[in-house]
Structures are given as structure tokens and as C-alpha cells.
Homo-oligomer: A and B are copies of this chain.
Amino acid sequence: MSSPKKEILVLGGGFAGVYTARCLEKILRPEEASIHIVNVENYWVNQPLLAEVISGSVGITDVVSPIRRLCRRTHLVMRSVESIDLRSKTVIVSPGFRPRRLELHYDYLVIALGGRTDFSRMPGMVEHALPFRTLGDALEVRNRLIHTLEEADVETDPDMRAKLLTFVVAGGGFSGVEVLAEINDFVRRVKRNYLRLRDEPVRAVLIHSGARILPEVDERLAFTAQKILVRRGVDLRLKDRLVAATSEKAILKSGAEIPTKTIVSAVPSAAPPVLQKLDCAKDKDRLQVNGNLELVGYEGQVWALGDCAAIKTQSGNAVPATAQHATREARVAAKNIAATIRGAKPSLFSFEGLGKMGSLGHYSAVADILGVRISGFFAWFVRRTIYLMKMPGFNRKVRIACDWAIALIFPPDLVQVRLLRGSAISRQHFEPGEIVFNQGDLGNCVYVIEKGECDVLLEKDGETVRLAALKGGDYFGEMAVLNDVSRSATIRTRAAMDVLVIPKSDFDMLKTAVPAFGNVFRELARTRTAAGTARTAREENSR
């Protein structure tokens, strides 16, 4: 085979993406293809164990695994996907330290970008509810719980204390139930260390739209789970749903209001924005694929799998968004890419699932394995054993086994791991002769000079022209941000300079909310554009 080396690009580092890269590494020889994977974090998350980060029964970094270790021959690009062009076979990813976007070209593309929690249709949810998908989310929830306990401990108003000790989880599927069970266990166990909270009641509320929780399993198992949760003090709100949230309460469809400072949402997810923009065959929000997991319309070029694809098994069942399915889809996609490269026949996806398991916390679980229903401690033990076996890498297996052993003996940890960050508006310092940004860079912030001087330089036909000198009180960088284009000039400091940096997101909010603020910059951009046009005209004339 003397065909040139192929470029395979995998988007997304979840179960589907990482397992595809791992399978490709096994099937293909290095000289046949080079593999790239794009993911916003440098680690893969073992989603089914994520809830355990809340109580710390699995160490923070043990529930995840570095993608570079899992896929040793794959190049990781730790950026987010900004756009996909299926026609020119190009993917554009976000900038890093340098304000430049990166363009990646592919011969074969695997789209496995998963889902996002979509709060847009419920007022107040974006602002006040916590999603639960990433490691960062899990840490946020943990920190929020500890923060509410710390505040409740010094709070003198009993209503406020009750509000602080109420925790609401929306969504009664496996994910929601597991998160709620962990929250309930964790808060009840650590509150003994809060001298004033020992005798205070804790309220953990699970809101679910169906008549029973756990739609994934059969009725009998779900009822067992409900009984176990109620015995642990969980407040079940069935046939109701969350419709709005504020910083003080959760508001339900039935009109009921629950005063709380902590709302976690584990409702099923929507497609990520980059796929919403993608122009191809879709089933509702999800990418439509054929039995070989090829994207309809782009067969032999693009495969889609995991939560972002609408997949049906050979027998016509819709495939649920679980880890066991994602890993099997990955294997089929990898095989089919290899088959395409080698000119062989592709295989069909036909996995029907082995069973379902969900933790209820406090050493109990429910499981349905190949049709056998188990619950309680035995189910909990089976679930842990299976997940431990399935964790890739011996290293992580040992770490998790240690974590679990320690968690059996000792009470949960109550350390709050905060990364203190000040405001997003920040200051920067430059020494003389440094470049603030280059012509052609991405315009992602506006600068205000607090002190110092700089030159505005234009490169044209290989020559550098000095357009202007700026000093304390002057602004720059507004043009690219206002018009969403790249930088039209280079900024180089003359003297040591201190600047205030306003990121585009803050700038955009402020210019809408405070028109006088926006006008300052719009006016400036207008003047500068006019000057630029006049200059160009002068140059044209002088030729």
C-alpha cells in the first residue's frame, strides 16, 4: 500500500471520542494514518463516577484520566471546536495563548461532541442553576454545598438557615438520582462537624416530570429505588417540573415554590451550539447516521456517534446515551474508518445493551443486568466492581480502589477547593518594545491605557507604517471587537505601559446595558475608520 498517510480527526474527548481514538491506534499502523483529537479539557471524564466527586469518595483527579495517556499515539489539541466545514473538510478551533484560531484539515472526521445542558428555555436557570456534566461542574456543586453549610452555621435567621439547608435536583433519571443521593448523603454526614447545625433538618428535593423516577429501568426496580430514597429522607416531587429559578428559590410548574440556594439540573441535554449550526441531516437536534454510523450525506468521510448522534440499532431501537453504548459505537466507527482506508466492507452497529445500573448512595444501588434485577448493597457492590474493571489503565484502577477503601473507613472530606479568581476585567503590564497584539490576530478584548505609551503600526505590502501614538487614557482594540473582525493593526509599546483589559464578553454586555459606554467606543471606531479611509485615498492618489 503506497497511498499517502491519512488524517483522522476526532472531535470530542468523551467515551465515544476517546474510545474511537484508542481503537484506531490498535487497528491502524502509524504509517497508515495520523490521529488528532480535539477536546476542551486535557482529560476524559468517567461520567458514571462523576457524582462521587461531590462527597469525595473518589479523588478529584481519579474520576478523570489524561487523554494523552489513554491515547498515546494520538495528537491532542486542547481547544474548543468553533466551526466545522464539511465541504472543505476543515475544522476551526478556538485560540490559545496566542489570539489566533487554528485550522485543522481532515480526510476522515469523527463527530463525538456529546451534549450540553440547555437552560435557555427556563427563566433564571442559566444564572442560578448548576449544570452537572464536567469535572468543573462537579467541583462547583461540591463547593456550593460546603459554602451553604458554612453560611448556615453562622446564620441567625431560621428561615434563611432552612433555605441554605435545602437542596433541589431537577431530573429523575440515573444522573439526577445519583447526584441527589450523593448530595443527601454528603450533607447529612458532614453536618455533624458544624456545631450549630447538628440538630437542624436537611431537605433534599428531587423533581421529576414522570409518575416515577428512573425511566431507564422497569417499574418494580424504580419503586424499590424510590422507597430507599424516601427512607433516607429525600423529598420526591413527581409529575412536576422546574420552570424557573432565582437566587432564592426554585419554582415548579404546579406553582409550588421551594426556597433554596442550591439548584442542580440533570435534565437531558441539547446538542452543542457548533452542531446546531451544522448544515446536514438531523433527527431533531441530533446528527442523522446510517447503520454504519456514517453521517447521512457524507458517507465514507464523516462518522457521528455518542450523545450527539441519533443512532438506531439493527432492530430499530433508539440507542440510549450511556457509556456502554458509546464505547461500542466507537469500536464500530474505528473499524469502519479502517475499512474505508483499506477498501474493505464496513460493519453495522448492533449492540443492544447489557443492562443498567444506578447508585442510590450510602452503599446501595439498583441494577438490571441482562434482565436480572438487583438492588441494595449487592447491586452497589456489583456496580462498583464493574466500573472499576471498566476504568481504563491500571494506574487509575489502583487509585480508585484506594479511594474507595479510604472512603469506607473515614468520613467524607469537607475541604472546599476554590480557585479564587478576581474579576474577568484585568490589568496587564508591558515593557517597552513589546507587542500587545499583531495585525491579523483575533480581536477578543478592548484595551484602556492607564499609563504609558504605544504605537499603532500597519503592515502593508511588506512595509510597516506608524499610524498613531497612543498614551494614558486612550483606548484601542475596539474596532475588531465591535465589528467582530481580526486586528487591523499591530500595537507595540514605546514606554512601559499598564492597560486595563476588557474581554469581549464583558464589553458586549456593558455596551448594551450602558449605552453611553458603548457610544464612546463606537464613536472612536467611526473616527478611526474615517481616518483610515482618508489615508487609503491619499495613498491611491499619490501613486
* B423 x A43 contact (CB < 8 A): no
* B423 x A503 contact (CB < 8 A): yes
Interface: A279 (CB within 8 A): no
Stretch at the interface among A209-217, A243-251, A315-323, A324-332: A243-251
Interface: A154 (CB within 8 A): yes
- How many angstroms between the C-alpha atoms of A428 and B516 in the bound complex? 22
Which of B128, B136, B164 sits near A418, CB closer than 8 Å?
A: B136
Q: Mark A476-506, 1 if CB is under 8 A from B, else 0.
A: 0000000000000000000010101011011
Interface size class of A (residues with CB under 8 A): 35 or more
Q: Mark A128-161, 1 if CB is under 8 A from B, else 0.
A: 1000001110011000001110110111000010
Interface: A417 (CB within 8 A): yes
* A154 x B102 contact (CB < 8 A): yes
Interface: A341 (CB within 8 A): no
Stretch at the interface among A70-78, A82-90, A365-373: A70-78
Interface: A514 (CB within 8 A): yes
Q: Which of A200-235 contact B (CB under 8 A)?
A: none
- How many angstroms between the C-alpha atoms of A132 and B509 in the bound complex? 34
Q: How many copies does the complex hold?
A: 2
Stretch at the interface among A54-62, A290-298, A350-358: A54-62
Interface: A241 (CB within 8 A): no
Which of B65, B150, B261, B426 sits near A415, CB closer than 8 Å?
A: B65
Which of B139, B475, B498, B513 sits near A448, CB closer than 8 Å?
A: B513
* A430 x B246 contact (CB < 8 A): yes
A93 to chain B, nearest CB (A): 9
* A510 x B434 contact (CB < 8 A): no
- How many angstroms between the C-alpha atoms of A244 and B434 in the bound complex? 13
Q: Mark A412-447, 1 if CB is under 8 A from B, else 0.
A: 011111111111111111110010000000000000
Known: A61-B413, A419-B139. A434 touches B248 (CB 8 A): yes
A-B contact pairs, 7 of them (CB 8 A): A60-B61, A61-B417, A76-B150, A96-B154, A123-B496, A124-B429, A127-B428
List 6 extra interface pairs beyond A60-B61, A139-B419, CB under 8 A: A69-B193, A78-B151, A126-B427, A246-B430, A246-B431, A424-B425
